[in-house]
Chains A and B, each alone.
Chain A
């Protein structure tokens, strides 16, 4: 089961609200390669993994992604909190504001609501881990695009850099887990058999 710690994994303290940036960054909250997708993808796939290492890594990274979801939510909140509707509208968030105000709602940068179609659980550990490796690279690429768009605000840049770095580490860990799963699946199968009297006599 889960417990909550009242501390962000990495601090988010943005001094200047900027709804334009929020419009982009919200994609890592509820977009296809966002943290919600990541967490649910790994936590759903962990049940079917064939070895302890793969189960553990999916469990533990899936949990860390929830901490990232909170960080991204905090960034979006701090970028939009207290901003007047006129500014929200100018930032291209008029449609979002209509339905959600400045609540943090899981949508992509283009405004598509989060869908389970963003994640996969294929019933095949190799396919699932390959999916996870790709997902981490896509998330890294997304963060790099966000970093390009947020160059002007170091308060935003700093947590984004941290989150990007975590994607790189997770990619590494999933690669190691995949190698372990492949080795396990490629192992020769040994079957237990009763030792016959003859075999015992031979020794």
Chain B
């Protein structure tokens, strides 16, 4: 948790302010043993200071994450080419993290920490979706195509689409 105080996410948010609000981030439930651990993990960084352990690999991806979103540093390493399934899983994780953050922000609009995470995840999701759709076809009807590829893939309810 202490690591958060020095974290600079370059988005103009006030990290001291964030600390004061951090404890509200998760469901406040005294029966849940891990609340503090989970909050702490938001600011967790890889010990080597980058996402894949190689000093030359400068991460563009946030190194902190909600543990429940499964966005692990190795998943977001720009050095590694993701498989289709990995890309979709990360899209799903980022999407869910954004949904969770948006719902939280709806009742905590002043929380700069949450806003900062939202901004980073939303940017990342946009890029990843763009990349995915260029190769594998549209995830929604709003993706521009030279050929109508909306009919190509099995539908999600058909266990298709991974």
Interface of A toward B, CB cutoff 8 Å: 1, 3, 46-47, 52-53, 55-56, 59-60
B143 at the interface (CB under 8 A from A): no
Interface residues of B (CB under 8 A from A): 95, 140-141, 150-151, 155-157
Determine the chain A residues whose CB is within 8 A of the CB of B157 once the complex forms: 47
**A60: contacting residue among B95, B141, B156, CB under 8 A:** B141
**Do B151 and A52 touch across chains, with their CB atoms under 8 A apart?**
yes
User: Taking the nearest CB of chain B, how far is it from the CB of A48, in angstroms?
Assistant: 10
If over half of B's interface residues share one DSSP class (helix, strand or loop), that class is named, otherwise mixed; here it is loop
Please name the residue on chain A nearest to B92 by beta carbon: A1
In the complex, which of the residues B95, B141, B151 contacts A53, with contact meaning CB atoms closer than 8 Å?
Answer: B151
Residues of B close to A46: CB separation below 8 A: 155
Are the CB atoms of B155 and A59 closer together than 8 Å?
yes
Bound state CA distance, A47 and B150, in angstroms?
Answer: 16
Contact of A56 among B140, B150, B156 (CB under 8 A): B150
Chosen A-B contacts, 6 in total, with CB atoms closer than 8 Å, are: A1-B156, A3-B140, A52-B151, A53-B151, A56-B150, A56-B151
Smallest CB-CB separation from B157: which chain A residue? Answer: A47
Distance of A46 Cα from B95 Cα, bound (Å): 24
- Kindly provide the distance from the CB of B160 to the nearest chain A CB, expressed in whole angstroms: 11
Complex Cα–Cα for A6 and B97 (A): 20
Nearest 9 A/B pairs, CB to CB? A52-B151, A56-B151, A47-B157, A55-B155, A56-B150, A60-B141, A53-B151, A59-B155, A1-B95
- Docked Cα-Cα span, A47 to B156, in Å, equals 10
- Which residues of the other chain, A, contact B141 by a CB distance below 8 angstroms? 60
Give B153 Cβ to nearest chain A Cβ, in Å.
Answer: 9
Known: A47-B157, A60-B141. 4 other contacts (CB 8 A): A3-B140, A46-B155, A56-B151, A59-B155
The distance in angstroms between the C-alpha atoms of A127 and B101, with both chains bound, is 43
Chain B residues with Cβ below 8 Å from A52 are: 151
Give min CB distance, B11 to chain A, whole Å: 22
Q: How far is the CA of A52 from the CA of B141 in the complex (A)?
A: 14
Report B126 CB to chain A, min CB distance, Å: 12
- Minimal beta-carbon separation of A60 from chain B (angstroms): 6
Complex CA distance for A52 and B157, rounded to whole angstroms = 13
B79 to chain A, nearest CB (A): 30
Q: Which residues of A contact B156 (CB under 8 A)?
A: 1
**How far, in angstroms, from A9 to B126 measured CA to CA in the complex?**
23
Contact partners of A3 in chain B: CB under 8 A: 140
The CA-CA distance from A64 to B117 in the complex, in Å, is 31
Residues of chain B lying within 8 A (CB to CB) of residue A55? 155
Name the distance in Å between A15's Cβ and chain B's nearest Cβ.
30
Report Cα–Cα, A52/B155, bound state, in Å.
9
A63 closest partner in B (C-beta): B141
